[in-house]
Structure 1
Amino acid sequence: MSVRNPRLPLLPGYGTNPMIGKTRFGVRPVFTSIDKVNMLVDKAEGVNRVPSLYCRKQAPDLPTWIMYDKNILRFQAFFQQSLHEMRSGSHILRKVEIFFFLEDGTIKVMEPKTENSGLSQGTLISRQRIRLPFSYDNYYDVLDLNIGREVTFFGKVFKLVNCDNFTRVFLNRLGINVPDPIPWPDAIKRGTDRGKPPKHRPFRQFLDFDRQVLRFHGYWDDRDSEFGIMHLLEIHYFLADDTIEIKEVLPPNSGMEAGPMFLKRMRLPRKIPSHVEMTGGPKCPSYSPADLSIGAVINLYGRKVVLTDCDPFTKEYYRVTYGFDSFNPLPIPKDEGTECVSTSVAERQLPPWNGYGSYDDSAENCRTVEPKPPHRDFIKFLNKDRVGFDSHVLRFAARLISDNPEDKLRYFIIKYFLCDDTIGIFELGERNSGFKGGKFFRRDKMYLPDVDFFVPKEPPAYTDKDMWVGNELIINKHCFRLIGADEYALRYMEVNENEYPMANLALIMDKIRRTLATQENGYKNFVAKYMDAAVPDNRELMSVRCFKQALKEVMCERMTEHEFITLIRHFRGDPGKEKSPRREMIRSLVFSDLTRGLWDERVKLREALLHADANGLGVLSVPRMRQLLRANRLPINTDLMDCMLQVLNKDSDCNIVYEDLLSFLDFQTRPVYNLTEGDYQKVVRHAPPLKDTECKLWAETETIIQEGFVNWNAFLCQLNLENLVKEQTQ
């Protein structure tokens, strides 16, 4: 028979046998008298000397291993570990977590693992009961652990700095006040050691200042020594690693051979060290950017180098970093012994062109004995060559001016290439015209007429400033009149209006403003005469014909056709009823191809578009739209398809509204615009063949002069001559 202690678990070895060592096994009766009646009662149990804090109903008599099962107090702490092998510091701080298990009073200490720390981390002290220092019977309990206290576990002192929320609430219920958390030692600001040099981070310096070089010009005066001269030097300071290299700049015709480098790239010490630097020892101080400036003298191993000037990057660096403002260069002393007498060299006079090859080719072969190709402006080629869809090619429609009736009906495309200022001319052939079409003049530099080619200097040639609608070009005794331009050419000239006066709206408006101001009652009569010419439904609009006639009466011949186009494009008004000639022309061409291919799958195309628009936004991207059109087998070529996608309505993100595409292809409810013979000659003759990858319809430029509307009110507001009318009225 064994007696179990209820405070211990029911496991073998935890019970005791009360019969061990007992010699008397009888039952001792206990007699007592209750209300004068003698009776036999059991022996009363002993009373605990420690009074209970709670009543038995509030605190049930349960063992601690059941009451506090899986209840753990968690503290955050740190301890110091001495470092005898490191010179930089005497100790390091290690962060740990202390766990106190309430069920049996055991303690466990763990350190969170840190990658590449070089320390053995994890469980530092396994779970066990830990005795108090200098004690054999007392162990650490709940009352010994709190924030701010120091505990000693096996000789290591741990400083408790924080605890979790459960621990704080548990201790507060026991009536123990828990202080606020203590900041970690890493967060405390520490003063820098006076004897410790600042930490050098070469890799960070390399990333921040790679390829940044301070360039100075200077000299070393060596004339005091025998056969000494004045050495002109160029000093390079590399900010990436604080190194300096110096090379010598030899004067022309000096007869001296330059070495590879006057000073190889290295750290230049301020003073010559007395001994070789020891490995790991203190380094000799070297020159820094703060030591270099115009007028400074640096010690180049006993040679005094004076800095006289620097480049713009170095000036900007010192202006931003050190706040310098004065960068006046110092004069260099003259060396009369080695200085060459400078004489003005006249410009080389080339012989006249002999007519063989191009002028540039002949001029280049006259400059050198070795035959070389003509020199090309490579910077202009990089800036003005094709970049994606930006071709940098200005295309103009032209007509041949001739007394021959057959030549008057010939139409050409003149391309001006901005990358090398060359011009190419192509003829648009027509069936049964007798002219084949194609390349008319190969791409070359076109010179002005009536110039002498057999001269030393290159004769003047046509430039991009001569390319504007209405101008006449005489090329190889053929007179061409520019009658139109494509959208790219007009847009490019309007964007770069400072280079093209004919597309500069400010200059055109200023010309009209000055003309009206010089005439007596000019602006007043101009407005009064054409006020009734506005559209009746919308008084702000005026037809293009009336607008052009009004400007011609005021400006006479002082306004070109290209300036009219610039004004009309800027003040273009849309009353909501007009059709775009270019859109209707493309629609007519698409209708011809679809009718020829017997295509009538508009219903399937609508289903494909609705299926592709999963979000129901009503728009699709241009590549997705092109993919769907090709999937539905539209019998049109890719160039015409690109033109069609270009004229469709788009949203702010350049996505196509597919309802407009379906309306564009609806030839039953919306009939096709019928082109007359005159419109066909204007539109089709001015358009390049559809095989051209950059198909542009030239009808819009010329037709816009005859059709459409102009915002008359916006034109008068920008003219801003109301004050002049008031003065003329008074």
Structure 2
Amino acid sequence: MAGLPKLPGLTFTDPTLSSFHLSQTFNVCNGYKVPKYNYRGIGNRELNANSVKFINTNDPVRFDPSLTYGKTKAVAVNIFKPHFALYDQKCLTFKAFFKQGVVESPNEYYRVRHVNIIYFLEDDSITVMEPRTPNSGIDQGRLLKRHRVPKNLAGEYWHWKDFGVGKNIVFYGVVYHLVDCDGFTREYMASQGLVMADPEQLPPDPYTQSRLMSSSSHNTFTKTPSSDDNFRRFLEYDGKVLRFKAIWDDRDSEYGDIRKYEVMYFLHDDTVAVKEIHTKNDGRDPYSQLLRKTKLPKIWTDRPINFPSIYLERSDEEVTEYYQPKDLRVGETIFVLGRKMLLYDCDSFTRNYFKKALCIEQGSPIDVSEKPKPPPERKIPPHDGIGSLEDSLQNTITFLPRPPRKDMVKQILNANKYLRYEMKMEDIHPEDTIRRFILNYSLGDSTCKIFEPPIINSGIIGGKYLKSTLLPKPGTNPLDPEYYTPIDFYIGAIITVFQQRFIITGADLYVYRYMQANSSKFPCEVIENIRNFMFNKGYLNDDINQLMEENKMQIEKEERDAIGDDLKVTQTEMEKCLDKFGISAIEDTTFQKEYPKEELVVPEHNVPPFGIQPVNNDGPYPITTAPVPDLACKDEAQRIATTEYDTEEEKIKKYYDRILRKHKHICENAQPELPPEDDCLTKERKAKAVTFAEDQKCEY
């Protein structure tokens, strides 16, 4: 039929053809134009281009289309499309939620609202849509009209680059948390280099969940009556009560305080009573109980939505769960009709019941006693410059000002006693080099007074430079200053008198005498410094002369005591011969036993320069001695040796040497030296033993 000429009578129509329109080459999918493949021609005929018959069989290697058709034309420039035409009807959709606080409602504290944030790419506008929930009572739908939302006060607006799954964005004070996005948004963000995080779960609305739970429980579940025998429980557990000690911390409310209670759980009927513990003078009304015996609901806000709580009290049908003994443990918190009470202790019966009946070990008691608050720090106000620091401090210590206490003993003992020093100024101006100052330090009140002597024909009038005042050291705390003391005054010391520096150049002889009398109060360096100054000035000539006289007298005494020690002994010919051959003489042991070397040593004692020390001498340690012994007791040989060869002065000297030696033995050994019992002078020597006063120390 296709090869017949197109003449009348040779053409035929196909009765199956009914559609003669021109087919479209594009399809519209989600608002986008997509090329259409395998479409048919006019009359729903197959196109020749789609047939295998018209496939070119020429070898593409040998066949060059440019030889037949000429060179191809250049690629046409893409047509510019504006931004609004390129992103027309293209939007980014994010799923998000925000929390809305609920005020003055016992059923809920906040709501979780789910929204869809739509971002229009063509003009960067944003709108927020909330899906409608049936019977929610909230005006839902479009929460934010479509417009460009400002980001901050700097004139910036929210852009799609600021969006991302898991981020928080703020529109006019409302914080939206993005949890997910659709497929186009995720693909578009990935093409722009922003990879979206994994989707998150939308949190449920607690109030909606509670409504669903209550409606489902009332519709599908029915409570069965308890099979417990109340009479048996009454006979078994009557009078058995679990007692817990609890506290209620109500300090968040106005005039609130920590209050103690006693929670009693009655085992025979599972009721709870709360008794308030009053203390003496607590200032509260003496009510005996906070809660009478009743079953305590565990979730006190849980009640059916359609329950008329204004007119009726809740029964067992409306309460989901009551408190049981297993819910009461030391350290746990329970809710007594909205009051949070902490159980911190229980009695012994309660501990035994939990251990034997429930196999639960109660915790140790918790110390809930309030720790005493530390006293507030007493801050001393700064000195206002009027009066002394002591007077200002007294005004802060007591309500009625009192004069500061003074050391009257110190003032009485050191009345009119001053330490005088000579000072000069540091060389600041040439005219001040000749000025001299006298510093008087009062030992009675520790004040310093400075006086400048006048210099004739120099233009320096002199007079009082500083009145009697306490002289503070530089760099110390002005509220608690450290004052100058005599320890700081020595030759060459630099002191600062209210920003003026002085150098101490001299001191009075009384200063050195005071330091000698009170050497424990001064460092050795200060005393040595003052002593050297006094020596260089010649103020210690009298002391030196006196010391020389004492040394001279001591030397004379030692010379008198050493009479006979340096006598030259004339050796015999026999002794010279023995010394020549190095032979020592044989010692007489009998003589050494009778006269040991210790008795031959001259004891160390102080003998007065004039004469011999008297018998009853007054010293730091009282000595009680007997009169001079009688020599009648001694044998004839000793008596003759004593009377004929010793003078009267030597006898007295040996006698007191023996007494002083015993004195030294007692000081060193804490007991007197006992004489031998067979001596004929035993009684006499015991009578002459040296005794001391109690609580006395021996010093050499």
TM-score (norm 1): 0.26
Considering only CA atoms, is the larger Rg found in Structure 1 or Structure 2? 2
TM-score (norm 2): 0.27
Report which structure shows greater RCO (CA 8 Å, sep ≥6): 1
